[in-house]
Structure 1
Amino acid sequence: MHATIVALYQSREMLVTMYTREMGFDALLARILTELPELSSELRKAARFLVDHPDEVALVSMRVLAARSEVTPTTFVRLARRLGFGDWAALRKPFEDRLRSGKAPFAARADALVKRGSEAIFAESLRTTVANLAAAEAANGSEEIATACAILEKAQRIRVAGFRSCRAPAHALVYLCRMFRRDVTLLGGDGGAMEAELAALGKREAVVAIGFSPYSRELGPVMEAAQRHSVPIVAIVDSMAAPIARHADVTLRFSTDSPSFFPSVAAAMAIVEALAATMLARSGPAAAARVRETELELQAFGAYLPE
């Protein structure tokens, strides 16, 4: 009798595991909301954080999530098991899949934003940006920053790739770095010769690729060319599961969470600004002197309005 009960229990556990393994984000969300009233106060707090911050769940570590939701890391492990998952990684997977798939089309989010009304959106957007910046700081450790800087410092030329909304942080990185080194260029910057630029990639160069889901198709040829020419890649992306992160030598992550209809690139801008500042600080007095020379040249060319 005891053996029969154990076998039935094991069979049930196997079915639950098989079900949760294939569970999508929407189904998981519905399950969390159904289970919420029956959870303990600590598990409920963790569950609510998952529901309210799905992008962060996919981007940052369990320890960081625990600190932000004011629970212990083991609470998330217990929540995963309470929901039928074998471990935290299994529970996190639907969140990663959601971010990778680019769910919530822009038009649908725009419709929802209009129906919601304009009250408090401005303030909420600013608060979300602050949270995204905190997430970027937590997700990118000193080791990743040092590795990225070492790759870029060693390169004889840096090629920066960013398209559509990621063109802004890509252009910012080029502009800032060119203040103290002349060998940084924007891929596709002249309006249509990117294929020739990629064909000319050399092993002593480096590529910085910036993107978030859904990823611009132009990034595909960039990554393929970098791999073909054995060029190191620094990826600045929204997820470790991003296609451009799979073959990167180092990955820096940012959150795109926003109450608006379009993902935010504020954290990506902050990362490239911080990366450029770190590179300059590591380059020493000679780089600072080049910034001074560049600034004087810009003033001589009349680049700035008189004050």
Structure 2
Amino acid sequence: MMTVQELQALILEMLPDMPRQLALAARHIADHPDEVLVHSMRDLASRASVAPATLLRLAQTLKFDGWADFRAVYARQLRSAPDAYAERASRALDGSGLAALLQEGFAAQRANLDHAAGVNPPEAFKRSAAILAEADRVFISAFMSCRGPGMTFAYLCRLLRDNVFLLGGEGSPLAADLALLRPEDAVLTINFQPYGREIDGVARAVRESGAKLVCLSDSRATQVTRVAREALIFPVEGPSFFPSLTAAHALVECLAIAVLTHLGDSATRRIRRIEDAYYASGTYSQTNNRRKAN
């Protein structure tokens, strides 16, 4: 009897060869498995921007007799993440005024954080942290608007360990950086749709080098998530004109906490040495209310 995990893996395996509409439906289900149980086939099709008949064709493509048999796999096993798939704030500007729009925006960020907390179990953070903490070198792939959370993780991770590099930085061509990857290295990618062309090169380099990949993304069905050892998912919904990165920033901060937990006392001692150096060099103002180190 097929499990949800096996079915999800089958969807991701077959997705690259699916026609466009079938791929839209498959990608939506891969990213929002709880919706298979929560919504009718018609409502789920609307959310995936496909016709209900497309969901039926998807089930048949995956060798099920019909939608009911497909849905039964999720009904047997899937546990819903608390509030992970609640209704999100509307994207549309409805003319309610700035105050209402701001309230809607904050509500969307709270929903995104709840979603990220629900779909990323502690075990996924633990496994991701082990990969990043134990690698010889850590390379961070984060471009365009993802550069912000990427730089945040680079800064935090450098407080915890040596040999952390931001790909494509300081004038170094991305292709040159990727050519240096080794099996002992780890790569952290951060991306969301529409995906930059860089992720094709990163996915190819990871496959060829044997490096370990941890992916932070809005989807489990991208070029890089398919070759990742671990994937952490963040939603980007919100009423603004641009996708929200609040949950992405939250994931990198939580991932840094997980890396600190994995490294333990050695990382704590390193942070203390760096903090002492900041004060000694004048980087931190002496007027700060600093706790005395033990």
Moved more, 242-251 or 112-121: 112-121
Instruction: Write 1 or 2 for the structure with the bigger share of helix.
Output: 1
* Residue in structure 1 matched with residue 136 of structure 2 by the alignment: 156
Report SS of the residue matched to 1:120.
Answer: helix
Please state if 1:197 is matched with 2:177: yes
Alpha carbon RMSD of aligned pairs, Å?
Answer: 3.2
1:163-196 alpha-carbon deviations (Å, 9 max, x no partner): 0110011111110011111221111121343222
Q: Is the 8 A contact 1:174 1:184 kept in 2?
A: yes
Alignment of 1:17-96 (within 5 A): 59-62=31-34, 73=37, 76=40, 85=56, 86-87=66-67
Q: Structure 2: 5+ residue runs without aligned partners?
A: 1-19, 46-51, 57-65, 72-90, 288-294
Alignment of 1:1-307 (within 5 A): 59-62=31-34, 73=37, 76=40, 85=56, 86-87=66-67, 113=93, 117-307=97-287
Matched pairs, number: 231
1:14-65 alpha-carbon deviations (Å, 9 max, x no partner): xxxxxxx95898xx9xxxxxxxxxxxxxxxxxxxxxxxxxx99763431xx5
Report SS of the residue matched to 1:243.
Answer: coil
CA shift, 1:209, in A, is 0.6
Q: 1:127 to 1:115 in 2, by over 3 A?
A: closer
TM-score normalized by the length of structure 2: 0.69
1:209-259 alpha-carbon deviations (Å, 9 max, x no partner): 100000111222122112111111101000111222111111110000010
Q: Is the 8 A contact 2:206 2:227 kept in 1?
A: no
TM-score normalized by the length of structure 1: 0.66
Q: Structure 1: 5+ residue runs without aligned partners?
A: 1-20, 29-54, 67-72, 91-108
Q: Distance in 2 between matches of 1:265 and 1:285?
A: 31
Q: 1:219 to 1:22 in 2, by over 3 A?
A: closer
Q: Distance in 2 between matches of 1:80 and 1:193?
A: 43
Report SS of the residue matched to 1:159.
Answer: strand
Q: Distance in 2 between matches of 1:24 and 1:182?
A: 41
